[in-house]
Structure 1
Amino acid sequence: MVTPRYPPVSSGGGEQSTKLLSTQLLTQERIDSVTVFAFDGTETTVQNDVTVQRLGRVSPFVTELQNLSVARKLRGRLAEFDVIHAYNMELHPVVGYLSTREGVPSVGTLNSYQFFPSSVTNTSADGLEWLYERIGLPTTGHLMRLSMMQMDAFIALSEAIRNIYTNNGFDADRIEHIPNMIDPDFSVPEGGVAEGIQLLYVGSLTENKGVRYLIEAVSLLSDQYRLRIVGDGDRMDDLRALAERCGVADRTTFSGQIPYEQVGQAYADADVFVHPGIWPEPLNRTMFEAMQAGLPVVCTDIGGPPEVIQDKELLCTPGDPEALAAAIKRVEKNSADIGERNKKQVFDNYAPSVVAPQIVDLYEQLLA
């Protein structure tokens, strides 16, 4: 496995997914060993029988320089392995290049749109990102994509991300749809007793997450609805100000970022989980956690997340506070039934025992 960061170093759900995949692969009889190369430190450790070699820190500021630096550190290390799996998109180009050069089959998980312009995902770039899109992406960024395309296969976490990559030059025959898996060790304690209906959002506070529309939706709901926002990001101050303007500051709690081990309590205390994203997110790990906790999930109908939702009346138009509020109100009638169906669905379809064998099957196809 090759990844920019590996827990306990983490910047989001991608690192947790990398760790989960690494450890769950070792439960498969067909896997003898798993080694992770990460670039967030200098030590070598063994975590849950996974060997983690941290080959120095590499600045992520310029992706092209990051890949060049990693190429020097990885060169000559890959030939001893049967398969290379790149996770978290930043280093996919160097893995594509080196795996081809050293004759080792490679797989890359597609969990973001790292090497595409923002227009592909209906978002907009500003500042340095805007400058890079106009100068870097058509030049060195093009070379990054070509290097990445040297990989033998890709794993798309959802049909939505598979379609976007296919529509932007990637070979559909080399992209396999295999979703994230749930964390079997994720535990949810007993919930507290609170007044009213507790809504929960967990994730980063960036523009494309659509949290502003969730706050506006709460202003359209009765006073019995309260919102807890767990996470941090560059829109935190703006969202606090919005809650004040909408008159729901007294019903909105900003908890900031909390340790992964404490997130379970947030789900336990909630009645409804809301995913208000306005961009085609590949797939959302927090939705899996909410469903494991037996919560109803209200979700915008864009990207990978709606592919997981069985109750289609809980899907709504992105960027529409009124539609979001209406979907939230639909939960009241049978929230317990919805939560139980969600819990059964994730354990039936996204458990490691279901997902990990699909990934090993792909490895074996490449080796054959």
Structure 2
Amino acid sequence: MTEQSSTEHIPVAGSAAGSPSGPRRRVVQVTPNYPPLLGGVERVVHVLATRLAARNDVSVVTTDNQAGSAPRRAVEAGGVKVRRHRSVTVAHTSLAPGMFGSLLRIRPGTVIHLHCSTAVVPEQVWLSARLRGLRYLLHFHMEVDASGPLGRLLPFYKTHLFGRVVRGAAGIIVLTESQRDFLAERYGADPAKVYVVPNGVAEEFFLPPRVASPEPVGEVGPDPLRLLFVGRLDTQKNVARLLDALALVTEPVRLRLVGDGDLGADLKARATRLGLDDRVEFVGRKHGEDLVKEYADADLFVLPSDREGMALVVLEAMAAGVPVLATAVPGNIETVEGAGRLAEPTPSALAAAIDGLARDRSELAALAAAGSARVADSRWDRVVSAIEDVYRQVGF
């Protein structure tokens, strides 16, 4: 779910970073999707589960959506126990009836850490907790948007179902201050129960500052500005908007699209129709050192989304010293404002911003420095300490 705000650094509010976390807890991370499906929320849950397992007994209850050959029961890295329930996907929502049985078997005293980014799973946690007299913590990632023919039911769902999930939580984790305000206004959340804990960045993405060099100029003008997008090729990310923008760009640029998704084939066909085959490269998923290299080789990171929570890829780009250009939509505004460039979510506005930065590249170094400063204190170890501090404050 969405909405957010920024300060000079992205703070880990209320954290006692690096402090002891107290007694070992039982923690169940409940999430609609989990790796090997790789989206921002899934990566966040995986990092939290793995790192929390160093000091806690951690399990994950999820679905088998896009899990491939991953086993339905497994003990994974760090000793995390993962239970993937058989599911079907309807309107981009994973439906797994068997998950409710797992939720009903959670032992009293367990931290039930619910990750919210789609419908249905939150309501199962709310109902199972009421039936068992248990408490749960809600982690609000992104507002659910309408999808497919059932989207017309969304206003009813938000008012009469998800609102109860929000108000019934023992505590709520949000990514920014504006999400706190949004939950209070939209769902009646008690602000005193809401804790601001931004997303983090893995150590490998923090690269040394780039050495400024003269703008490379060949016989026919400057070398192309190297643009990078990392993320799912789906509706929310709206890569079609970026391709349409690129067709309007007049300066020399090249775009690498890192990721895959349901719209991959359509987007490749769109790039061909727009005459962009010599300017756009689809390179598929990248992980680990390969992904770090993509950031290291880029001149400008571009995110054309319709909405975000707090995009991990933006934080990673900032940590790697890559200047960021993003659409001025909820989530991006709060993460990027003052530390990158924002453009209205239209192809023409994105094209104008890209052209301006490609024509006069003197601003890129300042944007990179501002982004690096924004995420300087955003390592995952601080975030995990903040999460454990929330557990303590909520009374788990």
TM-score, normalised to structure 1, is 0.80
Which consecutive unaligned segments of at least 5 residues does structure 1 have? 119-124
Which consecutive unaligned segments of at least 5 residues does structure 2 have? 1-28, 65-70, 211-215, 217-221
Tell me how far 1:152 sits from its aligned partner: 1.6
Q: Deviations over 1:195-237 (max 9, x none)?
A: 4210011112234323233223323334521111122334434
Aligned to 1:122: none
Q: What is the aligned length?
A: 347
1:253 aligns with 2:281: yes
User: Does the 8 A contact of 1:78 with 1:84 survive in 2?
Assistant: no
Which of 184, 196, 202 is 1:183 aligned to?
Answer: 202
Q: Which has the higher contact order (CA 8 A, sep 6+)?
A: 2
Please give the secondary structure, in 2, of the residue aligned with 1:329: helix
1:169 aligns with 2:187: yes
User: Does the 8 A contact of 1:313 with 1:327 survive in 2?
Assistant: no
Q: Distance in 1 between matches of 2:307 and 2:200?
A: 19
Which moved further from structure 2: 267-276 or 356-365?
A: 356-365
1:317 aligns with 2:350: no
Between Structure 1 and Structure 2, which shows a larger proportion of strand residues? 2
Aligned to 2:362: 333
Q: Distance in 2 between matches of 1:135 and 1:203?
A: 28
Aligned to 1:17: 44
1:36 aligns with 2:36: no
1:108 aligns with 2:138: yes
Which of 307, 311, 323 is 1:296 aligned to?
Answer: 323
- Aligned-residue CA RMSD (Å): 3.4
| Alignment-mate amino acid for residue 155 of structure 1 | I
Q: Distance in 1 between matches of 2:158 and 2:364?
A: 50
Please give the secondary structure, in 1, of the residue aligned with 2:365: helix
User: Does the 8 A contact of 1:97 with 1:150 survive in 2?
Assistant: no
Aligned to 2:372: 343
| Alignment-mate amino acid for residue 303 of structure 2 | H
Q: Distance in 2 between matches of 1:64 and 1:216?
A: 28
Aligned to 2:99: 70
TM-score, normalised to structure 2, is 0.75
Q: 1:92 to 1:247 in 2, by over 3 A?
A: same
Q: Distance in 1 between matches of 2:123 and 2:382?
A: 29
Q: 1:244 to 1:37 in 2, by over 3 A?
A: closer
Q: 1:245 to 1:322 in 2, by over 3 A?
A: farther
Between Structure 1 and Structure 2, which shows a larger proportion of helix residues? 1
Structure 1 runs of 4+ aligned residues shifted over 6 Å read: 62-65
Identity of aligned residues (%): 27
Which of 158, 164, 167 is 1:146 aligned to?
Answer: 164
1:76-225 alignment, distance < 5 Å: 76-81=105-110, 83-90=111-118, 91-114=121-144, 118=146, 125=147, 129-130=148-149, 132-134=150-152, 138=156, 142-143=160-161, 145-147=163-165, 149-173=167-191, 174-186=193-205, 195-225=223-253
Aligned to 2:254: 226
User: Does the 8 A contact of 2:88 with 2:96 survive in 1?
Assistant: no
Q: Distance in 1 between matches of 2:238 and 2:201?
A: 24
